[in-house]
Chain A
């Protein structure tokens, strides 16, 4: 077991199982309310707006337009180094894997933050950092199972995806549908559809000339 798994086991899982005594963002209107909606998702579900990012590594072409669009939307500059998502390139295997914030239902980053500065935006469902409360301890970076929380190379602030206020630039710009922004229940079906392309083609061949 790596130190990170260890950390996760000891700090995040355990806390999660016994439940946090301090619920998220009390009294701030963020996320949690009193009927035990610990992760702030029940309220969102009621409104039917819980949308998140889905990725499909099979169709990702590794162009990094998403990184660029992300940095442009947040900082008005072309700078993938500041992007809040990454395309991980594994050159040996010619793989391009989009790594985005999953905006977890029970978010380890939220749980691990000692200052409770990570909250769920009640409007968009995004798990986001309240920058003025963040003390820059970077514990969330270790807690995140995907390592998607980053330290900005310019300001050295801890940053994470905020779903661009409900209209993510990465999904908008992706030319191949490798990043999809969809309702949590619709997203999987979109991916399902894209995986049937090959079958479609084979069936078309069967029905056609041959």
Chain B
């Protein structure tokens, strides 16, 4: 097979059985691969209502047809499972070198089912696959696990994805970390992995990815590289990395989550401490994922203050916000936070948002030192934040509550603390929806909780595609916004499924490779015919599967909303706050354009039939979740 490796690996952890099957042609023509096929597998193999930590949940690793190829930034793969804090469809897309190695070993997808009694790790050496005992690394952090397994297997170049103690202890936002610093952060995939007692996956692949038309493929790849080089991306993301977005959001868009949304953005008096100039001083060198010409990662060094001498693979947009959320305006701390979360195996944001929530409660007097095991959770307290991080990782004392994530922690804690827990469908909010209408709509409707990587327009690609003037930064009107969000949702589903990165494709820059280039890349790589509209159609199909999964779980239109605060409290942006009337109208437009039922927001039979997803329509109907046919 060209492009795809052609094999799906199924690992039953309960029975310790390993099965291989050839990738059915129908799957790839309908779902492409990667995140798309993952979503399909999750829908078909799980029942609604299961606990995410139940052995009936699946943990699916999936790489796309372009993962591991010469196509620029082809290091991405996706992990999919029912999410531990959204209790709905959840996936997490990661870079690094692990995904390509999966393909080199000959596997497109690895499906884990059941749950082991004793800790295990999976060792894939091309065709030979075995489950090995992991009791000696159980309880170790990610980096130590990585070192020990490499030593045990006797090859320092093996690629490993592992969980740390938080994953073992089922901290709901535990991450799967590969290559020491590449995290599948969102969604708590590490906790699902921990619930299955799977400590790590180690891969060595020497089979490579075959290409149908090598000469053509090479040409298109160099053309894509040229496009990326000429785009504005290398000067922004390629130099500053994602902290550039922090500057953009704070200074240009004037909305940036700070102090658990108490402040609309970082105050100007503090921003110089976390701005680009401060960041630039930390840079030692740049780092990139597999085959990436853009390199948004850095090696950073702290040169002054408490953490002087600390060197490590550095942070991006999210971690920069993490500091702000806890009112810590110090990039040296952010570096420390990043390195600690990577080592521990935690998502960087999860604990920060939970601690920020607790800090607000502490300020309001809803919790005291007694609740927090003597830790003074005052705003900006770096020591307290790091101590709490350690407690969360071990689910110790108050950390046990925070390890549930803000939504569940607030529900458990009660006492009016729910008011300060800001989330959509259980997913914390990393971008303020009051930025604009497309931002608000995409965050509300995203299938995995408030999320900017599913459908938030981050480039002008929609205008290029439709041939209309469209400026994504102008987010103050609702014109075209519903259509744009749908376009980006479908486009991002395609990008996650073919195995490329969103940073240097249409998703985030219209000057970078887009649908037309994807078509050429895929056609040359796989030898099959693709068209741009067929790709977008596949994206739509994938997004409908994700939505149908959530519909089956009982989520409806009423879940596509925000906490009250965002509807009432104005900030400095053009739209000031999310006006409920306009917002609901925009949602109406969105569901209509999607072909979904406006009352429930769920996919209709007409739409599902059109996308050749009849069996999903039947399944929804059987469970009484299919909206009645339109009259």
Which residues on A are within 8 Å of B, measured CB to CB?
58-59, 61-65, 68-69, 71-72, 75-82, 89, 91-94, 96, 153-154, 173, 175-176
Contacts and interface: CB of A to CB of B under 8 A. Distances in A.
Nearest to B289: A63
Interface stretch (B252-260, B290-298, B566-574): B290-298
Contacts, number: 91
B299 interface: yes
A90 to B, nearest CB: 9
Interface string B441-484: 00000000000000000000000000000000000000000000
B295 A58 contact: no
A99 B153 CA distance: 23
Interface stretch (B208-216, B368-376, B383-391): B208-216
29 contacts: A59-B285, A61-B286, A61-B292, A63-B295, A64-B97, A64-B291, A65-B291, A68-B70, A68-B290, A72-B70, A72-B211, A76-B211, A76-B214, A77-B214, A78-B68, A78-B70, A79-B104, A79-B209, A81-B205, A89-B157, A91-B143, A91-B146, A91-B179, A93-B311, A94-B287, A94-B299, A94-B312, A175-B292, A176-B295
A194 to B, nearest CB: 12
Contacts of B97: 64
Interface in B288-315: 288-295, 297, 299, 311-313
A69 B69 CA distance: 9
B288 A77 contact: no
Interface string B126-137: 000000000000
A151 B209 CA distance: 19
A63 B285 contact: no
Contact of A72 (B207, B214, B293): B214
Interface of B: 68-70, 97, 100, 104, 143, 146, 157, 179-180, 204-211, 214, 218, 225, 229, 284-295, 297, 299, 311-313
A77 B208 contact: yes
Nearest to B295: A61
Contacts of B205: 81
B389 to A, nearest CB: 21
Contacts of B69: 68, 78
A59 B70 CA distance: 21
Contacts of A63: 288-293, 295
Contacts of A154: 206
Nearest to B67: A78
A154 B127 CA distance: 13
Contacts of B312: 94
Contacts of A81: 104, 204-206, 208
Contact of B209 (A78, A89, A92, A173): A78
Contacts of B143: 91-92
Contacts of A96: 287
A80 B70 contact: no
Nearest to B208: A79
Contacts of B218: 72
B285 A61 contact: yes
B209 A77 contact: yes
Q: Which 6 A-B pairs have the closest CB atoms?
A: A79-B208, A63-B288, A153-B206, A81-B206, A61-B288, A175-B293
Nearest to B280: A201
A62 B206 contact: no
Given A61-B286, A81-B104, A176-B286, 14 more contacts: A61-B287, A63-B293, A68-B69, A68-B70, A78-B208, A78-B209, A79-B104, A79-B208, A79-B209, A80-B100, A81-B204, A82-B206, A93-B311, A153-B206
B483 to A, nearest CB: 35
